[in-house]
Chains A and B, each alone.
Chain A
């Protein structure tokens, strides 16, 4: 069935270092939408970025991701982590009004 896998449950980084959060997905549909949602402590999730187009980089708030259908991946990256990036990040796949959330990666950025 459809699913999303985030291999890192916890990522701890020092401020200024690059961020990479992994996301792979599995689906029988050829055109899924992929999203990254971010959830800060005691807040609801909000959209960070989304993509539908194969091999096209999408960027928002310093983060970027590229959907690679050949490898079913949608990794999230940022060149330099900031303290305010500390949050829970969900990779999400959407097919026909059903959203599949990955297990989430908790990113902690330390001074």
Chain B
């Protein structure tokens, strides 16, 4: 069975500090991977997607970057956090492209102070 793990579960960070969030998918080879952001009380906004290792496409510019160093790993990062980065970050995977079901991870809650 496929499992999706996100780390950390929650973070409290200072404005201007760096951030790295991780996502790992086990049990599925070459999945499509996605990062989403959900502001408190808001809807989900897709940030990045990746079809293969080393290739990441940006959907929304929020002063964040993403990388896919391994087939099963997706990293979201920034060198300088902003207050507006607070929220809930979700990683998701799908078997194929845009027509396929997305399976979401448990998420990471981020509070920037």
A interface residues, Cβ below 8 angstroms from B = 33, 35, 37, 44-47, 50, 52, 90, 94-104
Contacts and interface: CB of A to CB of B under 8 A. Distances in A.
Interface in B80-113: 90, 97-99, 101-107
Nearest to A4: B43
B9 interface: no
Contacts of A97: 32, 49, 51, 57, 97-98
B67 interface: no
Question: Would you call the interface of chain A mostly helix, strand, loop, or mixed?
Answer: strand
Nearest to A99: B46
B62 interface: no
Nearest to B106: A44
A96 B44 contact: no
Q: Which of B34, B42, B51, B104 gathers the greatest number of chain A CB atoms within 10 Å?
A: B104
B59 interface: yes
B44 A45 contact: yes
Given A98-B46, A103-B43, A47 B51 contact: no
Nearest to A103: B43
Nearest to B97: A97
A47 to B, nearest CB: 5
Q: Which of B45, B49, B102, B106 gathers the greatest number of chain A CB atoms within 10 Å?
A: B102
Contact of A101 (B43, B98, B101, B103): B43
A35 B105 CA distance: 18
Q: Which of A37, A45, A95, A104 gathers the greatest number of chain B CB atoms within 10 Å?
A: A45
B58 to A, nearest CB: 11
Contact of B44 (A33, A90, A95): A90
